[in-house]
Amino acid sequence: MLRRPTDWALGFAYAVAWAIAGWLWTGPLNDLDYFFLPAVRIALSGHPFMVYAVRFRTVLAIDNGPLGLLPLTAVAALVARLGWLDDERLRRMVILAAFSIFSLLMAREAVSAIDRLRGTSLGGLARVLAYGVFVASPTLWLSVLGYGHVEQPMTLWLVLLGVRSLAGKRPLAAGISFGLAMLTRTVATLPLISLGLLLLARHRWRAAGWLAAGAAFIVMLGLLPFLLVDPADTIYSLVTHR
C-alpha cells in the first residue's frame, strides 16, 4: 500500500486528519461510546468472551460480529496505559487515527478494482484523486465520526479483498475474507449471498461451494468461543435482538 516516502507521508497526514477530527468533534455520543467501548472495557477487565453482555437502555445490544472489537481493544489498551480512556476527546483522537489504516486499505482495494476494470493502472495525480474519492467520502466520515462505526471501513476492505480473490479464481480465500467481514459487520452477508447466486447462475458449483464453506468455517470459528462462554447474550445480540 505504501511503497514510497510520499505514500508514507500521505498516509501519516490522513491519520493526523482523523486524529484532529476526533479531537474537534463535539457531536453527541454515539455507538462507539454506548456499545463498543463498554464491550472493550469488559475485554480489558479479563473477560474477552463476555462482550455481548453490553446493553444500552437494557434492551439494545451489539449486533455485529466480534472481529472489529479486536483492534479496538488493542488501541484502547494503549489509550488506557496513557491514562486517556476516560477522556472522551483524547480516546477518540487516538482510536480514529489508528483505525484510519482500514480506510486506506479499503481505498487501496477499491482503486485496485478500478485498475482491473480499466486494464491499466492509474498513475500520478489521477491515482491520488481516485484514493481521495474513497478516503474523503462524506459517507465514510459520517459513519465513522458521527455514528462511531469505526469497523465499517474494515468490513468494506475485507469485502473488496474477497471480491479480488474471487476474481483471481481463489474462492476459498474469498470465502475466508467474507467470513472475516461478516465477523466485523453481519451486513457483509448480503454481498456474499449475491456473489454466491451469481456463481450458481453461471454453474460454477465448486467455486460457490468453496466460497460458502470458507465463509461458514471462519464465522463458526470466530463465534464459537463466545457461544461457549456466554451463549445467552451472544444469541440475543446476534439473533434474537434483531
- pLDDT single digits (tens) 106-154: 999 999 999 988 888 888 888 889 999 999 999 999 999 999 999 999 9
Q: Quick check: helix, strand or coil at residue 185?
A: coil
- What's the pLDDT score for residue 163? 96
H helix count then E strand count, the chain: 12, 0
- What's the pLDDT score for residue 59? 85
- What's the pLDDT score for residue 2? 53
Q: How many CB atoms lie within 10 A of CB 27?
A: 9
Q: Where are the domains of the chain?
A: 5-240
What is this structure's pTM? Answer: 0.93
**Percentage of residues in the chain with pLDDT exceeding 90?**
86
Averaged pLDDT for residues 34-55: 96
What DSSP line would sit under 61-82, residue for residue? Answer: ---S-STTHHHHHHHHHHHHHT
CA distance 123 to 81: 42
**What sign does the CA torsion over 6, 10, 11, 16 have?**
positive
Instruction: List, in order, residues 6 or more apart from 32 with CB less than 8 Å away.
Output: 92, 95, 148, 149, 150
